[in-house]
Structure 1
Amino acid sequence: MCRRFTTVSSLLLLTAGLAGFQSTQAEYGINFPPPAADVAQEIYDIHMLTMRIATFLLLVVFSFVIYSLYFHRKSRGYQADQNFHNTWFGNWSWVIVPALVLGVDLTIASNADTVLKKVWDVPKDEKLMDVKVTGHQWWWEFDYLDHGIKVESRYIPEEKAGDLYLREVDNRLVLPTDTKIRFLHTSADVLHAFWVPELAFKKDAIPGYVTETWSEINREGVFRGQCAELCGTWHSRMPLVVESVSPEKFQEWVNEQQAIKVATAAEAASTKTWSKNELMTKGKALYETKCAACHQVTGLGLPPAFPPLNGSHIVNGPVEGHLNMVINGKPGTAMQAWGSLNDLEIAAIVTYERNTWDNKTGDTVQPTDVALAR
């Protein structure tokens, strides 16, 4: 009866194991994402070589283990060899096995060293397109140095992003295919790290330093990454989205961005007196893009690091103090200087903050007021 029960149990376990194996077949294709650059492909190839070697060694080791468990088990009456350590293999296995392992390591390392040099050594004898990547708490800034374009990239809130929450941004990093691109990495505050797996590299952005990497994207597509350095409370809200397009489409995008830049500059430089409603509309959009990450859409902030603006003595105090805080920031705190915004943008944000939530100052700040405050 006991033997029969054991046999039935074994069959049930075998059946469950086969069923579990079949259910995992759908996930068999999970691996690194398909590379989008030649260097990334080389890294992928090293990964696959490592996995093949590891799988082969796993099979060899398990074969020995299974063989020993079956043929040397106690139920067969096998007696353990008490003098194995004095045999030829017993003496030399301590040298042979580590030597084989070292040989495997060196096989992988030699290829890896060559690829690493390609990743870190930026081509010097060719014309490259330069993109400066600046990490902020918690968003990315991309400067297309050859085109005079600046793009700010922030995560999209869950209600708008849906399934791509923390994987989608408002402005993607648009790059051309078949073009060597040099990335210049730095940070405005703490350590960040630019990481898009399909492009082959991960590079730290260090405050006060500029480091460089490069890539040449060989196909069109959308590639997602994220900040790979723990940079603070909202580290998870720093996704990266790269959209690669053909050189022709990229030039069209550049022309559009340059036209928007010219129109924005002209609008900000005009002497027009803006109505309160116009400033509130612009200010709401700008606040939710640039300020809400820290101070929240509700204006309640995240104390103590990010104080509330709703009911704030600065927001409800003199306009001059409010403008000074926005333009120059506050040293020693997370409040950075926003003087890089144009006069109209700052005027709109300040007007919105002073006339929303429970703040009802009634003030209307004009771009000329911001110009004087600078």
Structure 2
Amino acid sequence: MKNRHLIWGSLVAALSLPVVAETETMRLNMTQGVTEVSQRVFDLHMTILYICIVIGVVVFGVMFWAIIHHRKSKGAVAASFHESTKVEILWTIIPFAILIVMAIPATNTLLAMEDTSESDLTIQVTGSQWKWHYSYFGEDVEFYSLLATTTAQIENQREKRDNYLLEVDRPLVVPIGKKVRFLITSQDVIHSWWVPDFAVKKDANPGFINEAWTRIDKPGIYRGQCAELCGKDHGFMPIVVIAKPQAEYDQWLQATKIAQQEAYEEEQRLLAMEMSMDELMELGEQVYGTRCAMCHQINGNGIPGAFPGLAGQGVSVDPAKKLEHISVVVHGKSGTAMQAFGPQLSLKQLAAVITYERNAWGNNTGETVQAAEVQAVLNGEEL
């Protein structure tokens, strides 16, 4: 009697699981999402779960029934048979039919997920160690999106905010109700652009372009992460997407274009100016802390065997290698993890961070780097 209660209790729990999973928010269940495709993926997931539960209940139900009603204590004697043609046919046809039932909705959902045709907006997503770059096709708008969580929070020196490690300085902004196509690639190693609410997860492979799309139904802030182990700071590559109504999106787009134009004009004015050492060092320390410290460390000592030190060694302290130092920061270094920061930072930021590296940690070269010098390296005039 006790065994029967345990068996029935297990069956009731198994049958009630999908109902609970669909009516309540479960931390271990799949995200329902905010798009038509993500809802279809969730429904497919629940359908397959139901089928698996039914199969499990039937198989284990028959097994436990046989164990209870054909046990030795009741005088049951095991039958002796094999090579039953009917059983062979039956256990071939039934699984085949189940697979067909599962394959039809799965194929329809997969085809919908891969259909990037007739998009209203195309955005190129480029992953790099360890940030995302977004470029809006036909709009002359592009920017890098970096982790906004501070080093002090990561090192437990300050209280962590609600969206710890899931906040960025510049989120991706898209309009609702529009089909947005993503062209996803990488600048260095394999990354993966993953936003669970959209049911979008695509690998970013160097030299290849993968496509994905979404159409968001309601405004909001949606978060994701890089889902492919891509190096030391893989855990510091969050994704934040803000979906806005069309009118608000248009305002954001126009404001971004104006801001980028103003930034360009400001850089052109900087070419004829000279910043003071104090101004360069102050800005340079900020830029170094957000862009360089994760590899070269905040004290400039680097990580032996992985990232070279800058304190008291290398191009940072050699007066004869000032242009080489600028070139490495601007163009990166082939065959190493050193990225090209020329496309990522403004002339002012580049000049400041190089000046900082040449004068911090006791390097004290006394040399400043100005925007005009950085521009010359960008244009290849130093060669």
| Pair 1:29-2:26 in alignment | yes
- Alignment partner of 1:143 out of 131, 135, 143: 135
Distance in 2, matches of 1:127 and 1:231, equals 30
Distance 1:163 1:65, change over 3 A: farther
- CA gap 1:36/1:304 in 2 versus in 1, 3 angstroms: same
SS at match of 2:263: helix
Question: Aligned partners of 2:163 and 2:239: how far apart in 1?
Answer: 12
Confirm or deny that 1:350 pairs with 2:354.
yes
- For 2:341, the aligned partner's letter is W
Counterpart CA distance in 1 for 2:200 and 2:377 is: 43
Which position in structure 1 is the counterpart of 2:202? 203
Distance 1:171 1:299 in 2: 27
Q: 1:51 to 1:127 in 2, by over 3 A?
A: closer
Equivalences for 1:145-160 in 2 at 5 Å?
A: 145-155=137-147, 156-157=149-150, 159-160=152-153
| Aligned residue number for residue 284 of structure 1 | 285
- Taking structure 1 as the reference length, the TM-score comes to 0.85
Q: Which residue of 1 aligns with 2:156?
A: none
**1:322 and 2:322 matched:** no
One of 111, 114, 122 as aligned partner of 1:130? 122
Structure 2 residue 371 is the aligned partner of structure 1 residue 373:
no
Name the residue aligned to 1:174: 173
Identity %: 37
**Are residues 127 and 167 of structure 1, via their aligned partners in 2, closer, same or farther at CA, if it must alter by over 3 Å?**
closer
1:361 matched residue in structure 2: 365
Q: Per-residue deviation at 1:127?
A: 5.1
How far off is 1:158 after superposition?
6.0
Please tell me whether the aligned partners of residues 138 and 293 of structure 1 are also in contact (alpha carbons under 8 angstroms): no
* Separation (CA, whole Å) in 2 of partners of 1:93 and 1:157: 64
Contact 1:323–1:370 at 8 Å: present in 2 too? yes
SS in 2 for 1:249: helix
**TM value normalised by structure 2:** 0.83
Q: Deviations over 1:169-206 (max 9, x none)?
A: 23222222111111111111122221112212221212
Structure 1 residues 286-324: Cα deviation after superposition (integer angstroms, max 9, x where no partner)? 223322332233323222221122223211112222112
Choose the corresponding residue for 1:57, options 55, 58, 82.
55
Partner of 2:115: 121
CA positional deviation for 1:163: 5.1
Aligned partner letter, 2:145: S
1:81 to 79, 82, 106: 79
Amino acid at match of 2:89: V
Task: State the match for 2:182 in structure 1.
Answer: 183
> How does 1:249-288 map onto structure 2 within 5 Å?
249-270=248-269, 271-288=272-289
Q: 1:29 and 1:371 mapped to 2: Cα distance?
A: 54
- Taking a change above 3 Å as real, the CA distance of residues 34 and 176 of structure 1, as seen in their structure-2 partners, is same
Q: Deviations over 1:238-294 (max 9, x none)?
A: 222222222222222223322321222122111222122222232223223322332
Where structure 1 has 5 or more consecutive residues not aligned to the other structure, the ranges are 1-6
Paired residue secondary structure (2:107): helix
Question: Are the aligned partners of 2:119 and 2:181 in contact in 1 as well (CA < 8 Å)?
Answer: no
Name structure 2 gaps, 5 residues minimum.
Answer: 154-159, 379-383
Structure 1 distance, partners of 2:352, 2:221, is: 34
How many Å apart are 1:28 and its aligned residue? 7.1
In the alignment, the residues of structure 2 paired with residue 94 and residue 224 of structure 1 have an alpha-carbon distance, to the nearest angstrom, of 50
SS in 1 for 2:316: coil
More moved, 321-330 vs 335-344: 335-344
Give 1:103-114 correspondences, 5 Å limit: 103-114=97-108
Instruction: Report the Cα distance in structure 1 between the residues aligned to 2:330 and 2:175, rounded to whole angstroms.
Output: 35
* Compared CA separation, residues 249 and 351, structure 1 to 2 (3 A): same
Deviation at 1:216, TM superposition (A): 0.7
* Kept after mapping to 2: 8 A contact 1:158/1:165: no
SS in 2 for 1:314: helix
Deviation at 1:44, TM superposition (A): 1.3
Code of the aligned partner of 1:80? A
**Shift, 1:343, TM fit:** 2.4
Matching residue's letter, 2:362: D
Q: What is the count of residue pairs matched by the alignment?
A: 352
Give distance in 2, aligned partners of 1:72 and 1:112: 40
Deviations 1:343-364 (A, max 9, x none): 2221011112222233322222
Amino acid corresponding to residue 285 of structure 2 in structure 1? K
Partner of 1:3: none
